[in-house]
Each structure stands twice: as structure tokens, then as C-alpha cells.
A and B are shown apart, each in its own frame.
Chain A
Amino acid sequence: MQETVADSAKGATANEVSPRGSERRKLLAAPRASGGWRLGDWPAAWLLIAPVIVLFGIAVVFPLIDTIRLSFFDIKGLAKPKYIGIGNYLKLFADPAFRNTLTTTLIFTLATTAISVTLGWLLAMLCAFAPRRTLVFRVMIFAAFGISEAVAGYMWIGIFRPDAGGLLNTVIGLFSPGFSHPWLGDPNTALWALIVAASWGGVGLPLMLCFASVQAIPRTVLEAAYLDGARPGQIMASIMMPLSLPGVRVAIFINLLGALRAFDIIYIITGGGPVRATETVGYFMYRESMTQFKLGYGAAATGVLLAAVLVISVPAIIQRTAGAR
């Protein structure tokens, strides 16, 4: 606890108005103080911002608009595209395979986000009681976030192997000799196996975000609670958890978006199967666009996925920036 308070004090100092902070604000306010931007500043400003705008246009805006354009065409393989208006979208929502992916995506997204963020948040709380002693542990957990999903996928295939050689079956076999279950071959367990694998890689970021939020709690608040005789559990439940909620919200937002767009790990571990039990919208989009090369149809699925991403991200961005000047 002593260590926490000491560390929290550092965090509190950093959050208070420091000379560096005030200088930064002065610098930001400088043009306004001298009468706002002058006309002569604009060319330089545009010149500086132009590379970003050009790159953003090429890498994000153009592909986005072109994908939406493609969704109005019937494109099969290498044949010439035919304009069909909203035909792809109508077909998409009548397609039982796509409707199935919506349910799968919802389960996958909510479950991976819930597991990753809850675990990350709880671990952050525990780590906050001994930040220095848990440094290595935090680095190890965060390292999983940095591992390629393809590599992680192959690792999890080894864990979920259907025979007794699979790590999970081996561990269960210690208590129940001869046990073996084809986790990835069973439509009832494949999605949950995938959720566990995806959540494993997703814990690191919530851990770091929540940990940073806890570290930002003013020292005085923690000291007051400590002096009033609050126990560590009470401090965690009544102070640390509520005050770290901004970090949790950011973690939920990032994990939701990541899970919604998930593809790599599904491609490697299950390939969308068995019997399409693990096919999410992201994988459906790949299958239609790349395996069957129905680019227009796949683009329509991309449009739906984009809409879902916007529904989640726009309110979150508005909420995050509402207080900004």
C-alpha cells in the first residue's frame, strides 16, 4: 500500500498544473492571443498538413469510397462488373449464411470484449497495489497483445488439438484419463475456443489502459481512504474501480472494434467452420470477396461491417471529445 501511495503521489503530481503544462497551454493559445491565425499562416499550415491529408486520402478515403461503389455491382470472378443498385444488400439480408454470421459476430464481439476487459481491469487493480513488483507480469501480459494473430492462432491450435496430445486435453486428462475432445471440430465448442484464444491476446491493452487510469488517481484520495482505515478491498471497490472507469471505457471501445473486425485468428484456427459455426461478418466478407471472388457481394458485407463500426465508434468519439476545447 505504501508503494501505491508513493507511486500515486507521482501520478498526482503529473496531473496537477505543472510549469511544462502551463507553457504548453501558452503555446497553444499564442495565435489566439495575438489576434488569431493570420492569412499568411495558412499556406504553411496546409503545407504541413498536406502529407497527412494525401496519405489519408489514398490509404483510407479512396479505398472506402471504392468499396462502397463496388457494393452496387455484381462482380463474379474475373468477369466484367454489372451495376445492380442495392441488389447485393437485399441478397445479403436474405442470405441465411450472412444472417448466421450476424449472430456469431455479436456473440464473438461481446464475449471477447467482456472477457478481455474484465480480466484486464481486474489484473490492473491487482497490479496497482504493487506496481514495481508486477512490472514483469504486466509486460508479459501485454506482450501477448503484440504477438501476431497468426502465430497466436497456431499456438492455440496446439492447445485445442483434438487428440490427447493437445495441451487442454492433456491437462483435463490428468483428472480424467483418456479424455480427448475435438474442441475446434465441435460446433458447440469451436466458437468458445476461438473466443478464449482471441480474449487471451486482447487482455494486454485493457490491462495497460486501466492500470494507467488507476495510476492517475490523485494521491490525496487514496491517502484519505487509507487514513480513514479503508481496507485494500474497499479501496479497490470504492475508489480505484470507479475512478478507473474512463480507462475501461476506452478499453471497451478499442476491444469492441477489434473483435468486430476480427479475421486473422478465425482464418488460422477454424477457417470459419465447422459448418460455419465460427464465421463472423469479417470472415464472411473474406470468403465472399477472396475465395469466391464475388467482390460486389463481399463489399456489401464490408458496408454492413462499416456501419456497425460507425454505430459503435461515432458516439464514443463524440463522448470522448465533447469536453475538449
Chain B
Amino acid sequence: MTMSAPKPGIRRRGLLAGAGLALLLSAAPGFAQDLSGELVILQWQGGTDAELWQKLEADFIAKHPGVSIRELNITAQGDARGGIRTALLGGETVDLIINTWPAFRKEMADAGILRPIDQQWTDNGWDKVLDQSWKDLGSTDGVTYGIQYTYGDRSGIWYKTSQLEKAGVAVPKTWEEFTAAIATLKAAGYATPIPMPGKYWAHGEWFETLLLRTGGVEAAAKLAAHEIPWTDEVVKTTLKKYAELLKAGCCGTPEQMFAGDWDWSADQIFKADAGNFLLIGMWMNARALNDYKLKEGVDYNIFQFPALGLGHDDTSSVDAKELLATANGANPAAADAFMGYMVSADATKILASYGYASPSKNADPALLGPAQQTATAAVAASKVQFVLGDLLPGDLVDEYRVQLQKFLQDPSDANIDAVTAAIEAKAADAY
């Protein structure tokens, strides 16, 4: 993914272009100064993320005093899509929806719930601050619906620096170094160097990055679209790599893996000092900063998934969050203004303070902490693929996660055949 940084210095031509853009933006409805009325945002995030949103909304209101913001809160554990669907089908009218699932965007677009924003993209100058690749990521069937405001590396492994230092383990760069590090950490007294979060979905993270590193983004994209079957050799090879970790005693018993979700695993590493590695998204950064009060880059850090040497080590799994405007929202002008605000310098500053990277060229990378900078640089240097679980149809993703649990119970070749056949049987019905 190409992530170009803003060029330093201001030249006359740039100044004139800026003035022209400002004139254009002031004429555009989204940036009009006389914005007013209520803006309703469908909110499903909790904890630190909800706090972040309160700050973003307060900053927006300070800039547009005529606008008030109401959050329509969805209470959800795990996948929030059910709650969002219930709200929308129940007749709730909102202006903006926070979304992180491309498959769900398509579902909403097909149902006529979303408002295309191609016009706003150029009129409001969003094309100046977001690369085409981000526009493509927010598009469904050639129509742009989403403006991406944050993204995260899903192929980064979090660790506590003191643990590795004490055990004399250097940050592993290759698969061999990684498996050797697991052996060293086990010898140092860590029974489960990877406290695998297998209760709901997070055990899929290892499969997804291993898949990318085994078959590349092409294979992962084809699998997501079911253009290759789940019984394909690339999937089986991926699971065999995953099995190498399990056979090395990385993660405890299946019963231990099924007992907790990713937050449990994080507690095991960063609070209980009972584990070492966690492959999870960038929200771990917010948790480490705000919940554990650890110092980024000092107490904890991140390294990119080790190289497998199968020809696809330049790949990374990413996620992103976007804002979608609804077709029936009562305040489209304020909705557009808020979408524009989310890629502004002020919003990216607030995002950075919570440890989140922004794809906007207005973002100052220097504001990000060391771990986030490492992850951002790794993504920028990678061929990226959106996280697989969010691309699969809802029907299939559940079976995929349960079958991966069965794989964790028995990572033998025979069971790999059984597990992939079971996912394929479901996939045949899901598309």
C-alpha cells in the first residue's frame, strides 16, 4: 500500500490551489459555516473507543456550534452487525454509520440504505487527502460509500519488552526464529508463550496472516470470494504451518485456548506476565495505553509477523473503519461535514492521541507512538489484504471460526482435511 506523506514547504501555486480549494469547500454544503440541526450517529463501540468518539464529536461541535450530535448506541458483544441491522430495520433514522465490515457495506448498499459519496469525494476535496486505494476500499460495485478514517495492522505481534529481555530473546524476524523464541520462552518458565484467544474469533488472526504469507493477497482474495475452495492446497498448507506452532507447545491446551477471548490473552501477557505474544489489531495499543497504563515503545511494542520464506512475506492483513452516510438521514449537510472532519488534521490528532493511525494526508505520523509508527511503516511497505473474517458472508464466518476451533483441538493432517471440507460444505451454500 502506497502511503505518501505531505510535501514540506508552501509554494505560490500551492497557495493559490489552497485558496481555490478553500473557496470550493466553503461553497460545498458539507463545509458550510451555517450548519445546524441534529446529527445522528449509529454507535456500537464501547470503552476507550467510545471515549475517543466523545472527544471527536465535542471537537466537531466546537467548530460547528449550530449542530448537535446524538449517538444511537447499539449494545453488542462481539459482532455488532446484528444490533445495527435491528436498529435499521426497526425504523431508526441515522445520518452516519460507523462500519468496519466491507461485506456489511455491500449488504446495506444493496438494501438501498446508503448514500453514494462520489460527488462529495471530489467536491469536498477528500481526493486530496486520501489516496485512491482508500477510496477503492470504501467502494462497493464501483460506487463510493465509505470514507476511511482509521486503519490498523492486523499482522503485528504485540509483546512486553521486559519479558523478552529477561529471557534473552531478540525480536524474531523469521519463522524459525519465532519458533525458537517460543522454545526459549517456554524454557524460561512461560508455559504458554502465545495465550491463544480461542473463545470467539481471535484464533482466526493467526490463520489469516499465515494464509497471506503462504498464498499471497491473490489467494486470500480468491478464498474470500470463494473463487478457490477451502479444500485448496494453499489453505491446507497454511493450517500445517499453524499446526507447527501448536505442536511446538505455543499455546497450551485447546481447553485453555477456548477459555478466553483476546482481552483475556492481553491480561495474561501485560498484567499477569504469564504469556508473551499476541497477534491482534491496533486496538491493543489503546488498551495498553489506557487500561494498563504502559508506555508505548518502552514497556511494550510490536513486530511484524515473521517471514515464512514462501515468497509472500511482503503481505499484511489490515482492517479499517469508515463512516457511511445513509440515504434517509435527516441532516446530510452535517453528515458530509462530519465525514470531512474525520480526515482533518484536528481529528487525526485526536485519533493519534488514542493510538490510532489515520489514512489521511493531514495526519502527522510524528504524533503516533513508536509501536504505531512501526505498524504503520510495515503496512505502508506491504501488499495488503482486508481481514478475511470481515469479508466472508456471515453464514460462513461462524462455521469458519468453529472449524478452526476444531483444528486447534486436533491439528493433525487428517483433521485438517476434515476441517477444510466442513468449511467448504458451508461455503458452497453461503455464496
Contacts and interface: CB of A to CB of B under 8 A. Distances in A.
Interface in B241-282: 253-260, 272, 274
Nearest to A165: B272
Nearest to A276: B402
A153 to B, nearest CB: 11
A176 to B, nearest CB: 17
Interface in A169-202: 181-187
B198 to A, nearest CB: 7
A167 to B, nearest CB: 15
Contact of A185 (B86, B89, B111, B259): B259
A67 B135 CA distance: 41
A276 B259 CA distance: 13
B111 A271 contact: no
B176 interface: no
Chain B contact patch, size range? 35 or more
Nearest to B88: A78
Interface in A154-171: 162-163
B398 A292 contact: yes
Given A185-B199, A291-B82, A293-B82, A79 B259 contact: no
A150 to B, nearest CB: 10
Interface in B265-314: 272, 274
B52 interface: no
B203 to A, nearest CB: 11
A84 to B, nearest CB: 14
A291 B111 contact: no
A221 interface: no
A261 interface: no
Contact of B402 (A163, A182, A184, A275): A275
B255 A186 contact: yes
Contacts of A294: 395
Contact of B256 (A79, A182, A275, A287): A182
B255 A77 contact: no
A148 to B, nearest CB: 14
Interface in B34-63: none
Given A271-B78, A273-B199, A273-B258, A293 B394 contact: yes
A245 interface: no
A267 interface: yes
A162 B260 contact: yes
Contacts of A292: 82, 394-395, 398
A191 B3 CA distance: 49
Contact of A274 (B83, B89, B398, B405): B405
A275 B78 CA distance: 16
Nearest to A77: B107
A294 B82 CA distance: 10
A293 B81 contact: yes
Contact of B85 (A78, A183, A186, A273): A78
Given A79-B111, A185-B258, A273 B395 contact: no
B409 interface: yes
Contacts of A274: 198-199, 254-255, 258-259, 405
Interface string B391-403: 0001100100010
Interface in B64-93: 77-79, 81-83, 85-86, 88-89
B321 interface: no
A81 B418 CA distance: 34
A290 interface: yes
Interface in B356-400: 394-395, 398
Contacts of B111: 77-79
B113 interface: yes
A14 to B, nearest CB: 46
Nearest to A275: B405
Contacts of A289: 82
B77 A185 contact: no
Most buried by B among A77, A267, A271: A77
A286 to B, nearest CB: 9
A291 B398 contact: yes
A78 B107 contact: yes
Contacts of B207: none
Nearest to A162: B259
Contacts of B409: 275
Contacts of B257: 185
Nearest to A270: B199
Nearest to A267: B77
Interface of B: 77-79, 81-83, 85-86, 88-89, 107-108, 110-111, 113, 198-200, 253-260, 272, 274, 394-395, 398, 402, 405-406, 409
Given A79-B111, A290-B82, A291-B78, 9 more contacts: A77-B85, A78-B89, A182-B258, A186-B258, A187-B255, A267-B77, A275-B402, A287-B398, A292-B398
19 contacts: A78-B107, A78-B113, A162-B256, A162-B259, A181-B255, A185-B258, A185-B259, A187-B255, A271-B199, A271-B200, A273-B200, A274-B199, A274-B259, A275-B258, A275-B409, A290-B82, A292-B82, A292-B395, A293-B85
